Amino acid sequence: MKVLAFTLFCLFIAVNEAKVYERCELARKLKNSKLDVVSGHSIANWVCLAYYESRFNSRLVGPPNRNKSQDYGIFQINSRWWCSNGKGTTANGCRSSCSAFLDDDITNDIECAKRIVKDPNGISAWVAWRNYCRGKNLSKWTQGCRL
Ligand SMILES: *[C@@H]1O[C@H](CO)[C@@H](O)[C@H](O)[C@H]1NC(C)=O
Ligand SMILES: *[C@@H]1O[C@H](CO)[C@@H](O)[C@H](O)[C@H]1NC(C)=O
């Protein structure tokens, strides 16, 4: 019985492991949330950004930044400005705990991204977008996705 309980426990852990989104699955979710309309940037920009920030891993916690802040979830939302992780000061612009950006349901991550792009930096707030997506031909990121 103990063995069975342990096996079930491991299964539970496995099922709850990092959800890595499929490219088109993510694209559809972002489209349905109207992130393109709200942000003024195409879905391909956001799929590219998420790929280079988190490799589509909704549970990713980034390594501590030099200034000790950390980045959370599929969009690697920063704890200094947008969420609270209980360490150090935060502007907490999205009024959220950082851990809330680590589950498989990325609805709240998308809502926070909508808030982040409203700032003057816009989508340039994401270093990965500036380095890998800006000015690139992004059509491959949504290619073959029924949006
Ligand atoms: C800390 O570093 C992160 C990542 O480099 C950056 O996004 C954030 O704005 C920085 N915070 C401050 C207060 O400089
Ligand atoms: C972008 O790349 C796709 C194929 O990857 C190509 O069909 C398209 O013509 C390219 N667009 C531009 C503007 O270069």
Query: How many angstroms does the Cα of residue 71 sit away from the middle of ligand 1?
Result: 9
Which sequence positions are flagged as catalytic? 53, 71
Q: What spacing in Å lies between the alpha carbon of 139 and ligand 2's midpoint?
A: 6
| pLDDT 10s digits, 124-140 | 999 999 999 999 999 99
The fold adopted by the segment(s) 20-140 is Lysozyme (1.10.530)
The predicted-structure confidence for 73-126, as pLDDT tens digits, reads as follows: 999 999 999 999 999 899 999 999 999 999 999 999 999 999 999 999 999 999
| Contact criterion met (CB below 8 Å) for 51 and 20 | no
Whether the predicted model's global pTM rises above the 0.75 cut: yes
Which of ligand 2's atoms lies nearest the C-alpha of 137? 1
The response to whether residue 69 sits with its C-beta less than 6 Å from ligand 1 reads: yes
